[in-house]
A and B are shown apart, each in its own frame.
Chain A
Amino acid sequence: MAGAALKRLMAEYRQLTLNPPEGIIAGPVNEENFFEWEALIMGPEGTPFEDGVFTAKIVFPSDYPLSPPKMKFVSDMFHPNVYPDGRVCISILHAPGDDPMGYETSAERWSPVQSVEKILLSVVSMLAEPNDESGANVDASKLWRDNREEFNKIAKTLVRKSLNL
């Protein structure tokens, strides 16, 4: 099955290389291990994360695409749906039946029809619109709800940090 996973990942890599979506770059960290990818995600315009470039690691299971990959921000991130250690908590990364929060419908879950591109697009829209129902980072959720100004300030510093400014 690992052979099939490899081929599928290669196809997705090709697709993302030749026709990348807005504000996203992704590919294997090094080609010796095709199951570990790096992605650069640009904070979408009009959001607190505007213009920041955030790095994330994506690790694929050997039975990809049957099981979803795991994604973790390497850059510092302060966001309601990102755990303090960087793990991303969005429904597309969870297989149906495995529902840590108990509110996701299976339509938004992982299935082989999804792809790296769709995951990354979901992350971009997660950056734009945090889901404060699933509090992976409680502090961030609270600040996002109660003190948007402070949240935006923290996001700004993260953006600068991500750009080495």
Chain B
Amino acid sequence: MAPNIRIEDLFHRSRFPKGLAIIFLPFYIPLGFVVMVIRIFFAFQLYLVLSLVPKSWLIRRLLLRISGALTGLIVTQEGLDIVHRTDYKMIVSNHISHIDSVAFESLLSCFMNANKNRIPTFLRWILKYDEVKPDDAVPALVFPEGASTSGTSGLLKFSSWPFDTKNEPFVLALITVSRPYFVQIAPSVLGGNWWSDFLWLLFTPYSHFKIRFVQPPKREDELTNEEYSIIVQNFMATKLGISATKFDAKEKIEYAKRYFYERARERRERAAGMRITSNQPHTTVTQANSALDSRLESMATQVKDVLPQVPITVIRKNIKTTKCIDTTISNILEGKVSYTPELPGQKTQEKPEPKSNPSTSKVAANTFGRDSTERHLSFQERKKAFIEAARQRYIAKHNLNVM
């Protein structure tokens, strides 16, 4: 478990590469568009043909693999013979992009449960997931992460529902995607949708999906589904050479929301800043000032996010002298800055006084220690006193003879 991975490290935020690789991209773009247009027509016809072939036919997978290769999707596998040897009920895989399920379908016949996954209708139709009946011996394809990641730094936390004994035996699949160095387009991005994944696939010269099938780690008898899911997550992460994180799909959604909100705000602020500067084209001093002001203003809002009860005017004043978010927060918390809290009504009314005996159910410390061990000891002592008081009260109330 690598605690230093932040949630923003798990996803690509832009399709375009950072660093040296971006130099080559502009040269490819015109060619990329031509390739994309040709492929769109080509892919359309092939998919039409594909939709006529029943799911169980081997030729379907061959066709899918050929058409995939022509549209830039190259799928290679390792260990597929493991899958053919046993009747697996489930394939558990990491999730890189919406193309994953197509890559799988070109190797073997599988299906995804439409209730548990949001699958675009188009994909469901092409991959004929609806044709699969419950009693068919077709393995279910499961992405326990519940959302896609960049696949290069960490796995999201696995849901525990797939790891029920009724879904055994199952096999693990590890997907890695590589694209040519001079066109490093990310397979999926934060907030991207399925058709953009496909359009970029058509744009890129080729995308190599490598799928490795491996046996899952042995399950000890007494493990719960959740405990086992963590073991499988760690196992897959090690095999992929990335780390297993505690972030889950919900946190990805929250992060995406926050990220896009922030970006929209930045854009608004920049637009507002430009308007100010264009009004005063001659005074460079005011220009510099307004840039500084807007920077201070955004710092002040960040402090306000953390300490909402502090009036913004107080924060602004302090941040003007400190020019540092952390220092201002410390100043306010340490009481170096005096202020009257906003929303005063909430602070005093929020404590509904239950009619219990205050002397026993309230264990306040006289001091808040400067030293962490001191604080910790005080916390432990107060906990003990709290429980003991409750015990005594209960015993007294019910006339118990416990000693």
Residues in chain A within 8 A of chain B (CB atoms): 3-5, 7-8, 10-11, 13-14, 17-23, 25, 27-28, 30-31, 38, 40, 42, 44-46, 51-53, 61-62, 65-67, 95, 97-98, 111-113, 117-118, 121, 124-125, 128, 159-160, 163-165
**B10 to nearest A CB, angstroms?**
13
- Check B394 against A4 for contact (C-beta < 8 Å): no
- Bound-state CA distance A61–B305 (Å) is 15
- Check A19 against B364 for contact (C-beta < 8 Å): yes
Of the candidates B372, B375, B387, B390, the one whose C-beta lies within 8 Å of that of A17 is B375
- Check A17 against B391 for contact (C-beta < 8 Å): no
Which residues, 382 to 402 on B, are CB-close (under 8 Å) to A?
382-383, 386-387, 390-391, 393-395, 397, 400, 402
- Check A165 against B379 for contact (C-beta < 8 Å): no
Q: Which B residues touch A8, using CB under 8 A?
A: 306-307, 329, 333
- Check A18 against B364 for contact (C-beta < 8 Å): yes
Which 9 pairs from chain A and chain B are nearest by CB? A31-B372, A27-B379, A23-B361, A113-B308, A45-B356, A44-B354, A14-B368, A51-B394, A11-B333
- Bound-state CA distance A128–B355 (Å) is 12
- Check B343 against A113 for contact (C-beta < 8 Å): yes
Q: Which B residues touch A27, using CB under 8 A?
A: 375, 379
**A98 to nearest B CB, angstroms?**
7
Decide if the interface of chain B is mainly helix, strand, loop or mixed: helix
Q: A17-B365, A18-B368 are in contact. Are A66 and B351 (CB under 8 A)?
A: no
Of the candidates A5, A13, A113, the one whose C-beta lies within 8 Å of that of B309 is A113
**B7 to nearest A CB, angstroms?**
8
**A37 to nearest B CB, angstroms?**
10
CB-nearest residue of chain A relative to B326?
A: A3
Query: Is B254 engaged at the interface, CB distance under 8 Å to the other chain?
Result: yes
Of the candidates A7, A45, A165, the one whose C-beta lies within 8 Å of that of B400 is A165
CB-nearest residue of chain A relative to B357?
A: A45
**A15 to nearest B CB, angstroms?**
9
Of the candidates A7, A25, A28, A62, the one whose C-beta lies within 8 Å of that of B6 is A62
Q: Which B residues touch A11, using CB under 8 A?
A: 333
Q: List 9 A-B contacts (CB under 8 A).
A: A7-B306, A7-B330, A8-B329, A22-B362, A23-B361, A66-B258, A98-B254, A112-B305, A113-B343
